[in-house]
Amino acid sequence: MRLPIILLLLLSILALTRGAAAGAAEGGVGDWQEAEFEPISSGVATPARIALHQDAQGLSVALEIDAIPGCTEPPLVVLAVAAVRQQVVTAPGPLRGTAAGRFRFAFAIPAAALAGSDAEWARLRLAATATFPGTIDGQPLYRVRYRHQDGRALHDELAKDPQDWQAFDLNGYRLRVADRRARVALAFDQPLNGKATIAIDDAQGRRVRNLVSGQPFAKGRQSVEWDLLDDDGKVVAPGDYTWRSLHHAGITPDYQYSFCNDGAPPWKTGSGTDMWGPDHSCFTAVVAVGDQVHILSPCAEAGYQGALTDLQGVKKKSWGAPTVPSHFLLATDGAEVFAAADNGKQQILLRYKPGADWLPFGNGQKEIVWGTAAMNGFGKDDAAFSQAKWEGFSLAGFAAWGDRLVVASRADQALLVFTAASGAQVATIPLADPGALLGLPDGSLLAVSAGAIVRFSARSERPAPFLAAGKLQPGAMAAGGDGKLYVIDQASAQIVILDAGTGRETGRLGKPGGAYAGAYDAERMVRPLALALAANGWLWVTENRFNPKRVLAWDLKSGRVALEKFGSTSYGASGGGLDGADAGRAIGQGAIWKLDPAHRTARPASVLFAAADALPGAMHWRFLRRDGRTFLLGYGSSCSLVELLPDGSGRLLAQYGSAMGHCLGLGSRVPPQFLESYYQKRGFDTPEKRKQLPEGRLPSMWDIFVWSDANGDGVMQADELEFGERFGGGYWGADSEGLDLVVPLFKDLGGRPGTWRLELPLLGWHPSGAPRWKPLAEGEAAAKPTLPEHWGNESSLTDRNGVLFLNAVDHLKCYGPDGALRWTYPNRWSGVHGSHGAPLPSIGELQGALFFLGNAPLDDGKTDVFVLNGNHGRFFALTSDGFYVDEFFKDVRMGSVVDAYLIGGECFGGSFCRGSDKVYRLLSGHTDYRLFTLRGFDSIVRGAGGKLTVTPPQIDAADRRAQAVVAGRAEPRSGTIPSLKVPPALDGSGGGWPAEPVAKWDRSGLFPVQVQAGWDATSLYVRWTVEDESPWSNHGADERMLFKSGDSVDLQLGTDAGALANRVAPVPGDLRLLIAPFQGKPVAMLYRHRVPGAKDPVPFSSPWRTEKVDVVQRLDRVRINAVVGRTRTNRGFCTIEAAIPLADLGLKPAAGRDYRADFGAIFGDPDGQMDQLRSYWSNQATGLVNDVPGEIMLFPNAWGTVRFLEAK
């Protein structure tokens, strides 16, 4: 029979206790200060903390323990102390006056019972237990022990051997207490429930620390602590300091509506009806089948490549082609959809079941290769994806012809005929300069050839004339059962209606003219590409048009446009801007839009330029007014000044910025005179010298240029162009509130590159109306140095007072008109690439700051507020005098619900202003232009602030704290995988799994992950436990892409232990095993990046790059168990257990050898449509969630090491 546990505990105490009398104090909470307490609990133990006093009389101890949920009674607390002698003391009960939810116990032990000399006190050890009331089966309901080092369970009894109690360093404790007492507290009045910001400046007014940044506080008296560190983590100098504060109710964005994307909603949710179309291209192919219309584009990244709609244009589903970016044509036999694709190097056929999925042909192949012609295609120039040169592809036409498919091949100068069922080629019909094709209901085939249209009767290979060349420039064709033929006339950009029997013209749809500038006209088509006649009598048309992107449908009964579908925007919603003086006007996709706030709609009002690519792409636009004229200033690496004319068109007046950026933005369209002028002025004036330059490139990446159209002809001339030192506006541009330009400039400063302030004030206007700025050479000569370093090529903003703000690497910086530094703000992860290494978001922390969206005055009449967009979707607002105000929108990595307030990663556009109605407005989005109003700026008030003096002892304490932080930095990741005698259970119980995890991590205290692993002669066993509020949700449609569509877990492993450990790229043997839910069950996908002799590598593409994985396969022999639930603290989690055959991995573990490896968990949105956070044990540079190639790549040099152990 077992003795009750309490009795055993008491017997143990009696056996241990000896020496002089010791006891527990009673009464009130005692004379203990907050600075004396420090925690002694860790992990899952009930929180506890301790304080000590030691002097000649002895040792006094205060022990505080938190109450446990559901128990209001205090625990039985036992304190064990030892030096040269030992004492075990039981507290009779807590002291009176302890804070709610916490119990304080006090103990007093005479010196004679423990130690006498300092040397004896240095041997002090201390431990404790707390046993809460209640039992289960005779055992304590809950017991916890503190400060033990015997490795026994947390809920075991008090150790009897004092060597199992942890040593306590009294001198170290006294220093820590002194450090806590030396800290500086700033007390302030929070005037309203909301947020506060506190900034500290030194005696010279220089910003030292941004202490509190937009943190929430309740109304009333508040206090915050300053650790005496500056913004760089360095201890400040003793001396006098001033602090100031700012307070407000919080800045809240209110979504209004979106434009330039006709999805419902206009952002990506995976619902099928969501966002309209592609971002990097426009819809170019269309076909109608039954009650459905299928539309397809060459490629998409954040958008959708294809859309399936009903007959009225309501989107029902998204779809896409399983190929690299390509030029597509679509055809139908009335039951199925077929696609012909040409990527400029290879040409293929595909088969699609409407509304379902891609199907194999009868021979079992999903792709039928019909050509390998390497023509111009994509990649000829930088604009190929968005301004495709269709004549650069072999694919010229495609049609279903009875039970056959016909391709017009320019490379073959022939029609290639295939059976629709099997995909086998059955004929080649020579045809000169072939073009568009159309299969007619009577079984005949129409084909464009050398500008004419010819007809082939059913199964005939001999063409007959139908329409002679010269009557029109025929493009795509469509026909219905009404005896009419509809043909695109590429010369007039109209649709010509012909009699299908005679070829006689009977009418036209659309107004002639093609590309235009000025008032928007829905009936004037621009570069129409493809036609499809739907069952309801609507004729659908795609356009190769980007200003704005559009798909339209004509009602053939009325001859009028029945439907227009706009968008999507370019990737990241760049190219937008708001007009602060007119809340009903905005710019986007090269067009002026008329906004209707009352009905929450928008329509194009005018087109700025006939050519969508007339200017290098602007990240955003600002409306400016001066001298009775309205201007648009577009910002990017090359900035453009445009006058907005009364008819809504734009007139280009001037450009400035990076010479290289200008060339990159225009691609092959760089004016020859621009390059020639540059070469002449830079000394590359002979053919021999130009041979030193890469073809089509400039010798310096960022040399500044300024051009003003002095003679008004719209063409750059040598005498209008100026070139100078290196432009400092970077990729995002140098924003300005006016036409007096202030631009960061890189030039020599004391023998090294520095940042200078270049001022080019507007001196007047040329007779042509173009600006006459101060000459660049004079401006450079008068430039003022600001930074003695290269500041990072990010963005800048100059306000109306000439104050310059730099989005510099490491710090956001503000300079007055005199060049003096006014303030700084930490900016450690600026830009796209900087954000990839950023931790999870923290209030007040700039991450991925890209560029200034604009600035607007506050009601105090003295300061402005400006907004920066962040690469993870958070936006940041700061005042012009250096106070962080607030942040808004969700961080894409945080697993947020997808709605209007999740802007998404890589949000490369935006505009911010205050209207004449004093309403603050913001334009943003990702593949839509999303309009918001911002509430709360009118609640901003300034606090009283104060002064303080920092003493040398306080600095010493701060320095000790800082050193402790440095000493606690993590070591490189390593773990062990033990050999198992018995395979572990795959049932979620944890039975048989190693007690110690091989890997354990979190992200800034959130999203904890634990991995257990073991191995035997046949298998590797891995168990992931992941905390996630929406666990194990992934509704991806492509098993190869499950890492992009929601939750998954990841093992990355180098199976060759002898491979170079610090290799920067994968080698044979390096692999990735991804486990994710797919169609209702977990699957294991293996990616072998490098396999010698692999025949069919799988491409993972974005428009700008492709990463190929040599082998991608599902491992059907992997046994997987997935358990989803909630913890005792009501947190969501999933446990994924897998038994992986070693043979499938090609792994032969050698006991005692180290292997490179990493473990990961990918967190998706709650609906399982997209990945939002990639979290890994070793590789911390996993912030990228917006690029398919970047996310499939392996980086073995960032992996940790694991060692396989032999069985004990």
What confidence tier does 733 reach under pLDDT thresholds 50, 70, 90? confident
Q: Are residues 80 and 119 in the same domain?
A: yes
Pair (177, 303) in one structural domain: no
In a domain, residue 588? The reply is no
The single-letter DSSP state of residue 971 is: P
Average pLDDT over residues 365-392: 58
Q: Band the pLDDT of 1154: cuts 50, 70, 90.
A: very high
Q: For residue range 832-854, list pLDDT tens digits in order.
A: 888 998 999 999 999 999 999 99
What pLDDT, on the 0 to 100 scale, is given for residue 2? 36
What is the CB neighbour count within 10 angstroms for residue 661?
25
Q: For 551-589, what is each residue's pLDDT tens digit?
A: 999 999 999 999 999 999 999 999 999 999 999 999 999
- Given a cut of 50, whether residue 386 has pLDDT beyond it is no
pLDDT tens digits, residue range 311-339? 999 999 999 888 888 999 999 999 999 99
Burial of 545 (C-beta count, 10 Å sphere; 0-12/13-18/19+): buried
Looking at residue 385, its pLDDT comes to 32
Output the pLDDT for position 431. 97
Q: Please name which of 124, 13, 9 lies closest in space to residue 59, comparing C-alpha atoms.
A: 124
pLDDT digits (tens, 9 = 90+) for 187-232: 999 999 999 999 999 999 999 999 999 999 999 999 999 999 999 8
pLDDT (0 to 100) of residue 621: 96
Cis check: omega of the bond before 939, within 30 degrees of 0? no
The pLDDT value given to residue 539: 98
Average pLDDT value for residue range 370-387: 51
Given a cut of 80, whether residue 98 has pLDDT beyond it is no
Q: String of b and e for 783-807 (b: at least 16 CB within 10 Å)?
A: beebbeeebbbbbbbbbeebbbbbb
Final residue before a domain boundary, out of 509, 531, 566: 566
Same domain? For 560 and 641 the reply is no
Max avg pLDDT among 358-362, 1094-1098, 1132-1136 = 1132-1136
What percentage of the chain carries pLDDT values higher than 90? 70
Give the mean pLDDT of 1024-1033: 94
**Average confidence (pLDDT) over 110-138:** 90
Does 664 map to a domain?
A: yes
User: Is 154 in the same domain as 222?
Assistant: no
Tokens 């009501």, residue? Answer: 1130
The C-alpha atoms of residue 829 and residue 848 are separated, in whole angstroms, by 5
pLDDT at 1062 over 80: no
Question: Same domain for 160 and 190?
Answer: no
Residues 686 and 798 occupy one common structural domain? yes
Measured between alpha carbons, how far is 68 from 562 in angstroms, rounded to an integer? 68
The answer to the question of residue 875 being in a domain is no
Model confidence at 20, pLDDT cuts 50, 70, 90, reads: very low
Give domain status of residue 486, yes or no.
yes
Identify the domain containing residue 23 by its residue range: 5-181
Query: Quick one: 653 and 512 in the same domain?
Result: no
Domain-embedded: residue 582: no
Mind giving me the DSSP string for 685-708?
-SHHHHTTSPTT--SSSSEEEEEE
| Look-up of token digits 């162009």 | 721
Q: Which two tokens stand for residue 637?
A: 């690496």
- 390 pLDDT band, cuts 50/70/90, is very low
Question: For the residues of 242-304, what is the DSSP string, one character each?
Answer: EEEEEEES--EEEEEEEES--SSSSS--SSSSSS-S-SSS---EEEEETTEEEEE-S--SSS-
Strand partners, 970: none
Residue 544 — pLDDT band, cuts 50, 70, 90?
very high
Q: Highest mean pLDDT range out of 43-52, 534-543, 828-837?
A: 534-543
On whether both 389 and 512 belong to a single domain, the answer is yes
Of 534, 566, 598, which residue constitutes the final position of a domain? Answer: 566
At 770-803, the pLDDT tens digits run: 999 999 999 998 988 876 665 555 689 999 899 9
- The pLDDT tens digits of the residues spanning 145-182 come to 999 998 888 889 999 999 999 999 898 899 889 888 88
- Assigned token pair, 844: 């007040």
> Residue 1089 and residue 1067: Cα distance in Å, rounded?
8
Stretch among 142-151, 1014-1023, 1178-1187 having the lowest mean pLDDT: 1178-1187
Residue with tokens 């009905």: 599
Mean pLDDT of 514-543: 97
404 with 313, same domain: the answer is yes
**Residue 500: per-residue pLDDT:** 93
Q: Is the pLDDT of residue 750 over 50?
A: yes
* Boundary of a domain, candidates 131, 150, 181: 181
- The runs of H, that is alpha helices, within 641-775 are 659-666, 672-681, 687-690
Contact 1071, 1052 (CB under 8 A): yes
Q: Is residue 886 part of a domain?
A: no
Residue 14 has pLDDT above 70, yes or no: no
pLDDT digits (tens, 9 = 90+) for 979-989: 999 999 999 99
Residues 6+ apart with CB under 8 A from 1012: 993, 994, 996, 997, 998, 1022, 1023, 1025
pLDDT band at 134 (very low <50, low <70, confident <90, very high): confident
CB 581 within 8 A of CB 623: yes
Instruction: Specify the higher pLDDT residue, 683 or 87.
Output: 87
CA 294 to CA 974: how far, in whole Å? 52
pLDDT of residue 460 exceeding 80, the answer is yes
Domain count, the chain: 5
- 388 falls in which pLDDT band (50, 70, 90)? very low
pLDDT-based confidence at residue 13 (cuts at 50, 70, 90): very low
The two beta strands, 368-371 and 395-401, are unpaired
**Between 1130 and 429, the higher pLDDT residue:** 429
- Cis geometry, peptide bond prior to residue 997 (ω within 30 degrees of 0): no
At residue 1057, does pLDDT exceed 80?
Answer: yes
According to the 3-state scheme, what is the secondary structure of 506-520?
EEEECCCCCCCCEEC
Q: Are residues 418 and 494 in the same domain?
A: yes
Position 925 pLDDT exceeds 70: yes
User: For position 788, what pLDDT does the model report?
Assistant: 63
CATH code of the domain containing 1024: 2.60.40.1190
| Pairing assessment for the beta strands 76-82 and 125-136 based on DSSP bridges | antiparallel
Does any domain span residue 116?
yes
In a domain, 419, yes or no: yes
* Same domain flag for 199 and 237: yes
C-beta separation of 195 from 940 below 8 A? no
**Start-end of H helices in 671-787:** 672-681, 687-690, 776-781
Question: Which CATH number do you get for residue 96?
Answer: 2.60.40
pLDDT tens per residue, range 274-324: 999 999 999 999 999 999 999 999 998 888 999 999 999 999 999 988 888
Whether 435 contacts 399, CB under 8 Å: no
What would the DSSP string read from start to end of 879-932?
ETTS-EEEEES--GGG----STT---S-----EEEE-TTS-EEEEE-SSSEEEE
Q: What distance in Å separates the CA atoms of residue 773 and residue 1052, rounded to the nearest whole number? A: 57
pTM of the model: 0.83
Q: Tell me, yes or no, whether 495 and 424 share the same domain.
A: yes
The CATH number assigned to the domain holding 424 equals 2.120.10.30
Q: How much is the average pLDDT of 2-23?
A: 38
Q: What mean pLDDT do residues 994-1019 have? A: 94
pLDDT attached to residue 194 = 97
> Please, which pLDDT band fits residue 247 given cuts at 50, 70 and 90?
very high
Per-residue model confidence (pLDDT) at position 1186: 78
Regarding predicted confidence, which is higher, 712 or 958? 712
Task: Report residue 779: phi and psi, to 5°.
Answer: -65, -40
pLDDT of residue 1004: 82
> Torsion angle, CA of 999/1003/1007/1013, rounded to 10 degrees?
-10
**φ, ψ (nearest 5 deg) of residue 192:** -160, 160
User: What is the pLDDT at residue 643?
Assistant: 98
User: Which of 342-346, 883-887, 1060-1064 has the largest mean confidence?
Assistant: 883-887
Q: Given a cut of 50, is residue 128 above it in pLDDT?
A: yes
